[in-house]
Structure 1
Amino acid sequence: MLISLTVRNLAVVEDLALTFEPGMTSLTGETGAGKSMLVDALSLVLGDRADSNMIRHGAERAEIEADFNLDNNTTLAKWLQENELDEDEQCHLRRTISRDGRSKGYINGRAVPLALLKEVSERSIDIHGQHAHQSLIRPQTQREILDIVADNKALLNNLKTAYRDWSASQQELELLQSQAEEQKAKQELLQYQVSELESFQLTQTHIQDLLQQQSQLANASQLISVAEAGLHRIFDEEQAAAYDIINHTLSELEKLQDLEPRFASAVETLNAAIINLDETANDLRHYLDHIDLDPARLNAIEDELSQLHDIARKHHVEVEQLPALYEELSTELERLSNSEVHLAELQKVLSNKEANCLALSREIHEKRVKTAKPLAKQISASIKQLAIPSGEIDIEVVANSDEKFSEHGMDSVRILVRTNPGQPSGELAKVASGGELARISLAIQVVTAGKRTVPTLIFDEVDVGIGGSVAEVVGQHLRKLATTQQVICITHLPQVAAQAHHQLQVNKKHLDDSTHIVVDKLDRQQRIEEIARMLGGVNLTQKTRSHAEEMLDQAQQ
């Protein structure tokens, strides 16, 4: 339930604080006094789009606050808890609008995105604007009205989630199917390329060995010549062999190291050199004994390398990059080979998701059909009381013949009306006049309001275009609603205002060259005066006041 509304520097409102009570409250005042401005303020604090032009002249920021009682609103209390916005069993909303265009929202003192304010709105309040009947001719609105009464919200939320999931899988499947031919050609090419590469031993080690062997065999004569020359210089050269020269020097130093101890280091180094020369000579002999000079082997290696170079050029890579290319092509081929399996799996998943959406759509359809006739009967009874004595409402629910579904189900929902005896039922836009449409809309709002889970209902001049006994009936309907929900009604009709449990009067005052809105809570005598004004205009008579008092007394019975 709405407890309070505070508005600062919004349009002509400078500083206004209102409190609200259970039951029905009417807001009345002269035309143009600013009654609807309070609804605008409430819409803003509940997340509606803001404009810096709304800020009062001379102020830098507008601010709106609203408090809601959570005692009978477990839905909102649970939502606040789930979003970690709960605070001592209260719901305090605050919205600021700055001159620079920035807008901020707060829930229980915590800054939140405006989308969260809208979520509070969905769980706390319904606002029926004075032009609500204009949207009634839309199929979407007619379907939503039926779903509210059928209590389809949870099912529709589940269907919305399931439908989006199904739609995403459907798009994925269509993409895979459209790519199937292209992938088939690509798969055939990859299969050929991989098979071609598989005929080679494509490892990094093998290719490096081939390149090394080819280089060695191609330069074998030079390698042998250098090895033989080296061995000759170390051992075989007369009088100039390195081994003999070093060994002779070592022998002479060893003879004299007793006389010169400092020769010991040189002796040690030369001993090591002798050992190293001996090992080097053995390595060169082993190399010369085992070097392969087989021309056939060289031809085979060069032939294999030639093929590898050819295939590398075909793929625009170096020979050394062929192993990595083979791995890449093999992986892609495996992926494409598995795409057919993935396609079959996706078709199975999609079929299950479609079955889920169909099951939800059928359940929603059944509830709509079950609800349509009783709801039409209720609305028909209500519009008869609203000066359409021959009015009859039918609600048509037709499932698509092919069970094609959307996130809203698989039904076409139409509200049909007959306003005169003997006429067939027809679409609202074609059969009902503007005035009749307004009254039908009001009847629907009154009938369905009790089915809504929100604790507060606001009616903003929805009674435009009616009067007399019809207006009294409207007031009675709203008062009856107020036994289960808080009803706030902005009205210009005395018959409606008199039915309220509480009455607030909105006045526009001009002070110091500026305009201010003042809202007063009226006691009984003040209500009589206000209702008399609404009945009789400027010059009030005792008879008008007596009539106003009688209306108040009758409403309280």
Structure 2
Amino acid sequence: MLQSLSIRNIVLIEALDLEFGSGLSVLTGETGAGKSILLDSLGLTMGSRADSGLVRQGSEKAQVTAVFDAPPAGSKIARYLEENDIELEPGEPLIIKRSVKADGGSRAFVNDQPCSAALLRQAGSRLIEIHGQHDDRGLINPRGHRALLDMFAGANLAAVEKAHAAWQAAKQALETAREDQEAAEKDRDYLQHSVAELSKFAPQEGEEQELALERATMMKGEKLTGDLEAIRSTFDGSEGGLASLRAAARRLDRIAGDHPLLAEALAAIDRAVIEAGEAEDKLNEAASALTFDPQRLDDMETRLFELRALARKHRVEPDRLQAFLVELETRLAAISDGGQSLERLDACLQEARHEYIEAAEALRTKRVKAAKALDKAVAGELKPLKLDAARFETLVEELPEDNWNIKGMDRVEFLISTNPGAPLAPLGKIASGGELSRFILALKVALAEEGGAKSIIFDEVDRGVGGAVAAAIGERLARLSDGAQLLVVTHSPQVASRGDAHYLINKSSDSTVSRTDVQALDADNRRQEIARMLSGADVTDEARAQADRLLEGV
């Protein structure tokens, strides 16, 4: 709800601060007093075009500040601002500020955070509804008619949204499977050849490392064979070093008792025999491990080179060739089974589509029923508003399948005809300014303000009517303001008498400067203003008495 409006240097307004409450607030004044300036000022904070012509003559810039109640957490406006990185403090009012320079530049802020005019327009549509002869938003815009009808019907779209999501997921799954199948069919020859080639080669995980290690070891063996044989020859045979040590040990054993040094010599030779035996065993083991087999080396090198060549061909690491073979086998199998898989996915798609249609048709049934109820409710409001020759109809028609969405299969639009026998046409293209405002009022009352902003402005909704019709308009505005905030610019005393608050817009001038000001009226001044509206410039006692009767009758 709009709490206050502060205006500085807008056309004829030098400085103006207004505070608003809930209920119905009426704004009155002489023609040309500046009511449109007030709405233009508010429009700036709602994202209207920043025209340098709005800047008061002699001023460098104009500025308007609108203060709104703190947006409830999770509300449409709160979510929208948060999505656009505008920080909100819990419980703090929402402050929108817009300035326009005389040279045409403009700036906009939400809670002191800079923003674009486009953001203001989107935020403004969630804060205030402005209904008047030049308004092209709100109830006139058919893009919002479906949502209004759904709220009037109390329709729950969850089933349709869920069914639509499942349908689209099934459609995507089938499309992906078809693309994969087509790609696989194109690759059939490649897959068959590659699977046969890799299956025949039978790569093993870790094989490259094992082959490379064995090859390196065998190549070392080729290099060390000569040295190993020469070393081993010093150990082998009856003339070898180990045999000589053993012979010396046997002979020394027979005489070792003759002298202590001989015993020590024998012990040393025995140790040497043991160490030499261990050295011979290690040499034999090394010779076995480093055995050079030219044929085996050639076989290993051939397989290692083929393994690496296959890895390069298929652009994978050698250790992944075995897993890659499994992938190719799976893709090849999918080609054979592809038809059956596609049939299953297509069956799932048809079932999901059928479930969506069922949910959407159930929603349409609710919409059609609600449309008839809305048409009847609006028709009941038209005659008292001097629109008894008009017809109102809520169009519910099926969209082409390409346009079906999470909101169902229907297009909804409010249509009217203002003259007997004239065809129905869109709301904004038929009615004149005054008629349009009254149609909107009838709709708002019939819809019980479903989906609307908490602040609503009607600009001259009573244009061209008076008497009983103006009284009917006032009664409906008062009813609509219950639990909301209505600001109504009016020339009708019947409407003005219904206000919970009354603001008088005055224009004054001296020899050089004209000014527009707004005054909140107390009871006496309000009586005087309504009397003026009844009688004109010369307020008579009879007009004051009539004003009293109007005020007493509400």
TM over 0.5: yes
Partner of 2:360: 361
Per the TM alignment, residue 487 of structure 1 is displaced from its structure 2 partner at its CA by 2.8
- Pairing 1:245-324 to 2, within 5 Å after superposition: 279-288=278-287, 297-298=296-297, 300-301=299-300, 303-305=302-304, 307-308=306-307, 310-312=309-311, 314-315=313-314, 321-324=317-320
Shift of 1:497: 2.2
* Distance of aligned partners of 1:292 and 1:389 in 2 relative to their CA distance in 1, 3 Å threshold: closer
8 Å Cα contact 2:25-2:487 kept in structure 1: yes
1:486-528: CA deviation from partner (whole Å, max 9, x where unpaired): 4321224444323324311133567999886532111343234
Deviation at 1:438, TM superposition (A): 1.6
Corresponding residue number in structure 2 for 1:26:
26
Q: Which residue in the other structure is 2:110 paired with?
A: 105
Q: Who is 1:327 aligned against?
A: 323
Query: For the residues of structure 2 that align with 1:528 and 1:550, how far apart are their CA atoms?
Result: 9
Taking structure 2 as the reference length, the TM-score comes to 0.70
- Partner SS state of residue 327, structure 1: helix
Contact preservation (8 Å) 1:386, 1:439: no
Maintained 8 Å contact 1:26/1:504: yes
Answer whether contact 1:418 1:431 (CA < 8 A) is retained.
no
Q: What is the Cα deviation at residue 371 of structure 1?
A: 1.9
Answer with 449-458 or 506-515: which moved more: 506-515
Matches for 1:289-438 after TM superposition, within 5 Å = 297-298=296-297, 300-301=299-300, 303-305=302-304, 307-308=306-307, 310-312=309-311, 314-315=313-314, 321-328=317-324, 330-331=326-327, 334=330, 354=353, 357-399=356-398, 405-421=404-420, 423=421, 425-428=423-426, 432=430, 434=432, 438=436
**Counterpart in 2 of 1:541?**
538
For 2:382 and 2:298, how far apart are their aligned partners in 1? 104
Distance 1:333 1:227, change over 3 A: same
What's the counterpart of residue 197 of structure 1? 198
Match in the other structure for 2:442? 444
C-alpha offsets along residues 86-130 of structure 1, whole Å, 9 cap, x if unaligned?
96xx66222345789665434xx9999999999997887644344
Aligned to 2:181, the other structure's residue is in SS state helix
Deviations along 1:332-376, one digit per CA (max 9) or x if unpaired, are 764786796987786677567545643442333122222222322
1:491 counterpart residue number: 490
Measure, in 2, the Cα distance between the counterparts of 1:373 and 1:316: 67
The residue that corresponds to 1:554 in the other structure is: 550
Partners of 2:50 and 2:365 in 1: how far apart?
Answer: 44
Helix, strand or coil for the counterpart of 1:458? strand
Residue 530 of structure 1 corresponds to 529
CA offsets, 1:198-241, max 9 Å, x none? Answer: 33353354334434555666786654322112334678999999
CA contact (8 A) 2:532 2:539 kept: no
Q: 1:299 to 1:40 in 2, by over 3 A?
A: same
Provide the C-alpha distance between the structure 2 equivalents of 1:188 and 1:473, rounded to a whole number of angstroms: 82
CA contact (8 A) 1:393 1:416 kept: yes
Cα deviation, 1:167-216, whole Å, max 9, x if unaligned, reads: 46634543443343013434663454244223335335433443455566
**Unaligned 5+ residue runs, structure 2?**
249-259, 261-267
Which SS does the other structure have where 1:459 is aligned? strand
Amino acid paired to 1:202: P
In structure 2, how many angstroms separate the alpha carbons of the residues matched to 1:189 and 1:432? 67
Whole-angstrom distance in 2 between the partners of 1:336 and 1:95: 63
Task: Give % identity.
Answer: 26
Alpha-carbon spacing, 1:55–1:174, altered in 2? closer, same or farther (3 Å): farther
- TM-score relative to the length of structure 1: 0.70
Q: Which of 64, 67, 71 is equivalent to 2:66?
A: 64
Counterpart of 1:448, as a letter, is: A
Task: For residue 375 of structure 2, give the secondary structure of its aligned residue in structure 1.
Answer: helix
- Indicate the residue corresponding to 1:150 in structure 2: 153
**Structure 1, unpaired ranges of 5+:** 248-257, 259-267
* Root mean square deviation, CA, Å: 5.5
| Alpha carbons of structure 1 residues 427 and 313: separation in structure 2 relative to 1, 3 Å | closer
C-alpha distance in 2, partners of 1:51/1:133?
Answer: 18
**How far, CA to CA, are the matches of 1:123 and 1:357 in structure 2?**
31
Aligned to 2:96: 95
